[in-house]
C-alpha cells in the first residue's frame, strides 16, 4: 500500500469506492482544518465530504447524509503494518 490515502473512499460496503483494507488501517479526515469523525464518504479532487446527519436513518436503515464542500485532507491514523 502507498502512504497516501485514495482520492475517494466510502465506508458503505455497497459503494464502488469501498475498500475494507484501507478502512481497517484507519483513515482520518480534516475538513477545512477541523477533524471530522462522522464522515461517510469523501472526495479530495471534487472537494466534498458526506457526513451523517445525527442518528436519523432512511427507510433502508442507512444514515442520512449531507454533502459539505471545502478542503478535504485524508490521512492514515495508524502506521502501515
Instruction: Tell me, yes or no, whether 34 lies in a domain.
Output: yes
* 35, 29 contact by CB (below 8 A): yes
Whether residue 66 is predicted with pLDDT greater than 70 in this model: the reply is: yes
Instruction: Tell me, yes or no, whether 17 lies in a domain.
Output: yes
What pLDDT, on the 0 to 100 scale, is given for residue 79?
65
Instruction: Tell me, yes or no, whether 81 lies in a domain.
Output: no
Total number of domains constituting the chain: 1
CA angle 45, 47, 51 (to 5 degrees): 125
Confidence band for 80, pLDDT divided at 50, 70 and 90? low
Three-class DSSP category at 29? strand
* 23, 11 contact by CB (below 8 A): yes
pLDDT digits (tens, 9 = 90+) for 22-58: 999 899 999 999 999 999 999 999 999 999 998 999 9
Instruction: Tell me, yes or no, whether 2 lies in a domain.
Output: no
pTM here?
0.86
Instruction: Tell me, yes or no, whether 80 lies in a domain.
Output: no
Domain that holds residue 46: 8-75
DSSP 23: H
Instruction: Tell me, yes or no, whether 1 lies in a domain.
Output: no
Instruction: Tell me, yes or no, whether 42 lies in a domain.
Output: yes
56, 36, 63: which is closest to 48 by C-alpha? Answer: 36
Amino acid at each position: 500500500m502507498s502512504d497516501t490515502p485514495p482520492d475517494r473512499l466510502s465506508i458503505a460496503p455497497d459503494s464502488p469506492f469501498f475498500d475494507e483494507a484501507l478502512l481497517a488501517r484507519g483513515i482520518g479526515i480534516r475538513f477545512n482544518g477541523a477533524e471530522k469523525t462522522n464522515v461517510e464518504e469523501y472526495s479530495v479532487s471534487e472537494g466534498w465530504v458526506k457526513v451523517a446527519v445525527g442518528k436519523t436513518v432512511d427507510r433502508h436503515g442507512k444514515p442520512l447524509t449531507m454533502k459539505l464542500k471545502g478542503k478535504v485532507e485524508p490521512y492514515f491514523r495508524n502506521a502501515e503494518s
